[in-house]
A and B are shown apart, each in its own frame.
Chain A
Amino acid sequence: MGWGDPDRIFYRLCWGLSLGMVFLVIGIGITLFWGSLPSLKAFGWHFLVGRIWDPVNEKFGALPFLVGTLITSFGALILTLPFALSSGIFLAEYAPPRVADGLSTVIDLLAGIPSVIYGLWALFYLVPLVRWVEMKLGVIPFGLGLPTASLVLAVMILPYAASIIREVLRMVPHELKEAAYGLGATRWEVIRGVSIPYGLSGIVAGLLLSLGRALGETMAVTMVIGNRSEMPRSPWDLANTMASVIANEFTEASKDIHLSALIEIGLLLFLITLGVNILARIIILRLQVR
C-alpha cells in the first residue's frame, strides 16, 4: 500500500478534487463578501428592507428584487408542481416502457434548450397570452411582469422536477408494490399509499433543486419581467429579480458604491441558494427517519 498503488492514488485524487469544490464555494462566498463590504458598511441592515434603488442619489435597498425573485421562483414551483408530479407518475407507473423511454428523452431535451430561447418564446407567445388574460381580468395589460416570468420559469424547471420524480418513483422496490397489489389494492391506491410516501423525500428534494435553478435564472426572466425596480403592488405588476438587476446594471456601474451594492445582491442570492439547499438536506433527513 505505497504511493504507487492505483487505488490509493485514485482515492487521494478524488479527495483532493472534492475538497477543491468545497474551497471554490467558500472562495466565491469570500469574494462576494469582500466586494460588498463598502455597501455593507454604508447601508447595513437597511439594504435588506430598503425599497428604494436609486443609482443617481446613491440610495440602495434590495427588498424589491428580493421579493421579485421569491415570488417568481415560488410561483414557478407551484405552477410546475402538478405537471411535474403527474408526468413523473405517468412515466414511472402507467406508460409502457417504450413510450416512457421516448417521452423521458423529450422531457430531458427541454432541459437542454438555452434560456435565451425560452425568453424569446415567452416574449412572442406568452406575453400576448398573458396580456389577453389581463384584459379579461381588467388589470393593466402589460403582458409582462410577475405572471409571465413565473410561467416561463415553470416551463424551464419542469424537466428537472419531472425527471427527478420519475427516477425516485422507479426506485420504489417492487416487493412493496407487489405486496400491496396482493392485498387487493388498485393501481391508484398503490401510487397513493406506497410509491409517493416511499419517495417523498426524493420528490421534495427534487423540487427544491428545481427551485434553486429558478432563483438564479437570469436571461429569460430579464426579457419578460419588465425590469421595474420598485416594490410590486399586485401579482400582475412589473417587477425585477436579483439576478436580472445584476445582469442589467453591472457592466456600466461606474460608481464604486453602485458596483458594491450589486455585488451585495450577488451575495444575497448566493446565501439564499445555499439556504434552499440546506433546507432540502434537512427535509431529506427528517423524512428518511420516518
Chain B
Amino acid sequence: MNEKKLIELAESGNNVQAMLELANYYYKKSKSGNDDKVGDIISTDDFVKMLNAEEKADTELQAKAYKYFKMAAESGNANAMTTVASWLYDGIGVKKNREESDIWYRRAAKAGDPSAMRVVAFSSNDEVEKFKYYKLSGELDRPGLNKQDSIKQTAINYACGRGTKKSIEEAEKWLAKLDDEHDVAAAKIEIAQITGEKFWLEQAAETSTLAMVKLAENFISQNDFENSLVFYEKASTNGDFEATSVIGDIYYIGEGNIEQDYKKAFEYYSKASEFGYNMATIKKALMLYKGCGEIEQNLREAFLILRKVCKTREKFFGVFRYNSVAKFYLSKMYANSEGTRKNSELAWKWLKRSAAIEKVTEYESTHQVPEAMYMVAERYFSEQEFEQAAEIYKKLAEYHSISHFPYNFEAAKKLMWMYELGEGVPQDKEQAEYWRKKFQNE
C-alpha cells in the first residue's frame, strides 16, 4: 500500500493497523534503511552502526513516526504505548519527557504489554506494584520476549514476602520455571542475602560455585573458619581461583582454630597463581621474598616472579593495567640488590610506575600506592624538583583514608613546611595554614 493511502487510512482515526504501519515506515526511513536490530544479540560493530544511524536519523521523519505511534497508542494499542513511552524517555521524535514517559509505561502495562510491565516493575517504589507486574509479565507468553528475569524476581518476592505473602512453596514453584540453573542459583543467593535464611545458600551450593563461596563467606562472618574452608575447597576444586587464594590467606594468617601453615599457604597461592591470578602470584613472591617458616627466603625466585608480573599486561574491563604492588617490590629489589644486581635506574623506573605517576586511568589513580608515592616525592624533593614533589605531596595529603596513613600525614606536614618557608614553592602563609590544618586533622 502506498504512503498516501496509508496516511488517509491512519488519519481517519480508526485504523490502528494503518497507523502502526505508517509509523514503522517512517521510523525505518528515518534511519535511511538501516535495519533495527533491537532485541537481537548483535555484534559490537552492528551496535555502533545502529547508534550512528540513530544519531544521524532524520528527526522530521522520526517526529512523523512518533505522531502515528501516539495515535495508535491513544487508540488503545499496548505495543504502541510502550514505544511512545520509550521514545518520550529517550527523546526520539519528541522532546524528552520522563514524567509523561512514566505515565505511558503504566498505561501500556495496564493494557497488558509485558515489556512495559517489566519497566514498571523495575522502576516502581511500590513493592505491591512491583510484585504484581513481575508476576504478570512472568506469566505472559510472547515470542521473542525473555521473561526469565520476571520469573526470577517473582520467585524472590515470594520467598522474601515482598509485595505479597511469603510463600516458600510458591517461590519454589516459580524457581522451577527458570530455564538456566545459574539463574536458579543466583535467585537463591539473592533470597539468602535478603532474608538471611542460610538454607537457600546451602541448596544453591550443591551446584553453584558462587553459592559455595557465599556460604564460605557466611561461615567466616560467624568466625567458623573450619566450615568456611570446606566450602572454599569445594569452590577451589571447581576452578575458582579467588577461593583458592583465600584458602592461602586463611592458612597464612592462621585464622581462628586453623593453625598457621606457611607451606599450605604457599601451595594454595601457587595453585591460584597457575590460574593467572596475579594477587596470589604476588603473595607467593612476597613469601619467598621474606622467607616464611618452611618457605625459605629465595630472593632470586621472588625477583623473577615479580619481574614477570610487572611485565605482564593484564586486561581488565578493556583497560590494560599493571600491578602496583609488584612494581613497588621490584623497585625495592633493584635498589637494594636483592635477587638481582643493583640498578638504580630500573629501581626508579618501577617506583615511579608503582606510584602511578604515568597513570592512564582514573581507576588507577584511586589505587595509587601511598608508600611508593611518598618515596617518589621524596626523591624529587631531594633532587630539588620541588614542583613535581609538591604535586605528589598534594595528592597524598588530600587522602583521608586511614590506609594512606602515615604518608598522607607526612605529606601534609611537608607541604606546610614548604609553603611556610617558601622552600621550592612561593611562600604562602594561607597555603601553609591549609596544610597545617590537614596535618593536624590527620
A and B are interacting partners: no
